[in-house]
Amino acid sequence: MKFTDYRIAPELKDNLERLGFNRPTDIQFKSIPHVLQGEDVLAVAQTGTGKTAAFAIPIIHILHDKKISKRPDGVKALIMAPTHELVIQLTSVFHKLGQQTRVKTFGIFGGVDQMPQIATLNRGVDILVATPGRMFDLVSQGHLDLEQVEILVLDEADHMLALGFLADIQQLTKQLPRRRQTLFFSATIDEEIKKLAYSLVKNAIRIQISPKDPVAKNITHGVAFIEIDDKRFFLERMIKENEDKKILVFVRTKVRAERVQQAMARAGIVAETIHGDKTQHDRRSVMIRFRSGELKVLIATDLTARGVDIPQVDYVINYDMPEQDENYVHRVGRTGRASHKGQAVSFCSEEEKPILAKIEAFLGHKIEQLGINEAEYQDTILFTEDTDNNWKALMKQAEEKTYKPKKKRSKKK
């Protein structure tokens, strides 16, 4: 089936064709007809499968069709997302798919001045994409009315729960009309998520796309066993051997992100960081530069691993192994998107081997081990350009000069 076969607005079909959307993915094929019919949907599918378009396409059509009949203005669809980056990305997708339609989409999030957001809301918005914090701020101040919401979407619902938004989601439902359509999209599902989902949806259509391998086929991934204090030297080497590639590096904490960035700077490598302590302006600026390719190396916490579409990432490097086995899939899913091939490399220390075992159990197979012999390992450490480590190279050179083996004298006959 092609998108041209769907009974959706001609403007929407034109946008899909212009964007290169010809045939729906599995999650889109199974979700779109039910959303168009006004049914509640509980959908579970891995990252990179096209979940956003699975709800964006039918929502735009529904609201465009209703607006032709001059329905009252006001927010009719509310899309909840866990992070600023995801709000920006979702809003961008809605804008691209909704060009030339009568539907207006707007995204709101914290960390920026709220006055321009209030001004836009006052001018009228049909689809609102929001993080919970800023949305509740504007509701409590009387700047946002949710009484006309007809469609609620919870995107990356499992991540919203992981970030502690359960109480916010429960509070949100009290602000919305009881008669509404609810769409629940998640990359994973467990008992807590099921409990939340079934408290929100009514007679939902359940859709689950569960491939045998949760990692996309066009991602090659391997693991290298490297001691924790040596990881920065191997990261330096990988970046310098792939200078023209776009590389996304994942670390466990904000502090680690800054320390790794500083180590790369000492080695002459330009890299930036993105994490929760960065201002929204800085985060957005860095993402724009990384997406465009101006910035080649981005060091991130798991904040950016969920749902964010970054084009043409060549390498994902797990500098630190993720604490949650599912986060491995979300991290490596930032590469190998669409038809683009990608590579994922994990640096695993002795202390992290139990985490690796859990990840492999989750994947259902072993991750290929990348062999590093002793000579390669030592060379990588000794010849770093990290100024904090140059003494090792100097000591090695001094040893070679001091302890040159003496030539044996030939005995006189």
Taking only the tens place, the pLDDT of each residue in 201-242 is: 888 899 988 655 566 677 889 999 999 999 999 999 999 999
Q: Is residue 36 part of a domain?
A: yes
Angle, vertex CA 171, rays to CA 169 and CA 176, nearest 5 = 90
pLDDT at 192: 79
To which H or E segment does residue 167 belong? helix 166-175
The reported pLDDT for the residue numbered 311 is: 80
Report the chain's C-alpha Rg in angstroms.
Answer: 25
Helix (H) or strand (E) holding 318: strand 315-318
Q: Are residues 335 and 358 in the same domain?
A: yes
Nearest-angstrom CA–CA distance, 339 and 284? 26
Q: Is residue 404 part of a domain?
A: no
Q: Which domain holds residue 245?
A: 219-388
Q: Are residues 70 and 173 in the same domain?
A: yes
The whole-angstrom separation of Cα 411 and Cα 413 is: 6
Asked if 298 and 227 sit in the same domain, the reply is: yes
Distance CA(341)–CA(216), nearest Å, equals 10
Do 253 and 205 share a structural domain? no
Q: Do 182 and 306 belong to one domain?
A: no
Provide the number of structural domains found in the chain.
2
In a domain, 397, yes or no: no
- Residues 237, 117 share a domain: no
Those residues of the chain that have pLDDT short of 70 are 47-48, 68-72, 210-216, 304-308, 338-339, 387, 389-413
Sign of CA dihedral 89, 92, 96, 100: positive
Return the pLDDT at 384.
Answer: 83
Are 153 and 259 found together in one domain? no
Which tens digit of pLDDT belongs to each residue from 142-188? 999 999 999 999 998 877 877 778 888 888 888 898 889 999 988 77
38: which residues sit within 8 A by CB, 6+ positions away?
Answer: 62, 181
pLDDT recorded at residue 218: 76
Residue ranges of E strands in 203-242? 205-209, 219-225
Indicate which CATH number applies to the domain containing 266.
3.40.50.300
Out of 183, 209, 235, a domain closes at 209
| Single pTM value for the model | 0.73
Residue whose entry in the numeric block shows the structure tokens 């990988």: 238
Q: Which of 181, 209, 237 is the last residue of a domain?
A: 209
| Residue among 364, 363, 331 at smallest CA distance from 346 | 331
Query: What's residue 325's pLDDT?
Result: 81
